[in-house]
A and B are shown apart, each in its own frame.
Chain A
Amino acid sequence: GAGVSQSPSNKVTEKGKDVELRCDPISGHTALYWYRQSLGQGLEFLIYFQGNSAPDKSGLPSDRFSAERTGGSVSTLTIQRTQQEDSAVYLCASSLAGRGTTGELFFGEGSRLTVL
């Protein structure tokens, strides 16, 4: 497809389990972002990948959260030992980057995580 694709769309897990969330960005987009959306909390920045540069991990809430981007394309967000407060919608976005670009982020529809 032409848009950002995320999977799974819904994930229910038990407290303490690990989860992986996947993001397929738009082809050719060099920048990839993960955000977390909790009820009433807006969009919380988690991590940002730009080309081959070191990722900006400044938004990751704890060392249980990690993300990687393989081959400059697909990204996986991993949450280890999930806690109930991790329940949220995890949104991925991609964008073109560089001189002359608009900076527009294209979001996927998100992965809704529920930790029981």
Chain B
Amino acid sequence: QQQVKQSPQSLIVQKGGISIINCAYENTAFDYFPWYQQFPGKGPALLIAIRPDVSEKKEGRFTISFNKSAKQFSLHIMDSQPGDSATYFCAASRQNYGGSQGNLIFGKGTKLSVKP
């Protein structure tokens, strides 16, 4: 029930195309869904995050779509660029606003390559 399943494992997209990465979770108590971006040799960094009270969040070329009933969420990268080539991780956690937060459970990652 703690798993976050991510697909695809790898993705090749042409420059200017749309990259789509999907994630599914099982624990209905999860209430925070971030996406992290990781470049080789670096630690992951937060890209964008969503909470289940909205179905979509957009920041620049990056959009999260969230389907609470299906327990799925996805990352869309519009107008993909070679600089977007990285590994992307979805994650989920149950946040307790009383002061503590649960640990962040990550998917296995998607290696995105954007071809020029």
Could you list which residues of chain A lie within 8 angstroms of chain B, going by C-beta atoms? 4, 31, 33, 35, 40-45, 48, 50-51, 53, 56, 58-59, 91, 93, 95, 97-110
Subset of 12 A-B contacts with CB under 8 Å: A35-B106, A42-B6, A42-B89, A43-B89, A56-B103, A91-B44, A98-B100, A99-B97, A103-B104, A104-B34, A108-B43, A109-B43
- A112: nearest chain-B partner, CB-CB: B41
Minimum Cβ distance to chain A for residue B95 (Å): 6
What is the bound-complex CA distance between A51 and B43, given in angstroms?
23
Q: In the complex the two chains form, is B41's CB within 8 Å of A99's CB?
A: no
Q: In the complex the two chains form, is B89's CB within 8 Å of A48's CB?
A: no
Q: In the complex the two chains form, is B95's CB within 8 Å of A103's CB?
A: yes
Kindly list chain A residues whose C-beta atoms are within 8 Å of the C-beta of B106. 35, 42-45
Is B20 in the interface zone, CB < 8 Å from A? Answer: no
Q: In the complex the two chains form, is A99's CB within 8 Å of B99's CB?
A: yes
Q: Considering the complex, which residues of chain B in the window 22-77 have a beta carbon less than 8 Å from any beta carbon of chain A?
A: 32, 34, 36, 41-46, 49
Is B105 in the interface zone, CB < 8 Å from A? Answer: yes
Q: In the complex the two chains form, is A31's CB within 8 Å of B101's CB?
A: yes
- Encoded as 1 (CB less than 8 Å from any A CB) or 0, chain B from 87 to 114 comes to 0010101010111110111111100000
Minimum Cβ distance to chain B for residue A47 (Å): 9
Tier of interface size on chain B: 20 to 34
**Dominant SS among interface residues on chain A:** loop
What is the bound-complex CA distance between A43 and B105, given in angstroms?
8
Q: In the complex the two chains form, is A33's CB within 8 Å of B103's CB?
A: yes
Q: In the complex the two chains form, is B107's CB within 8 Å of A50's CB?
A: no
Q: Given A48-B103, A56-B103, A59-B103, A43–B34 Cβ distance below 8 Å?
A: no
Q: In the complex the two chains form, is B103's CB within 8 Å of A103's CB?
A: no
Q: In the complex the two chains form, is B42's CB within 8 Å of A42's CB?
A: no
Contact of A42 among B32, B93, B109 (CB under 8 A): B109
Apart from A42-B106, A105-B44: 12 A-B pairs, beta carbons within 8 A: A42-B107, A43-B44, A43-B91, A95-B101, A99-B97, A102-B49, A103-B34, A103-B95, A106-B45, A109-B41, A109-B43, A110-B43
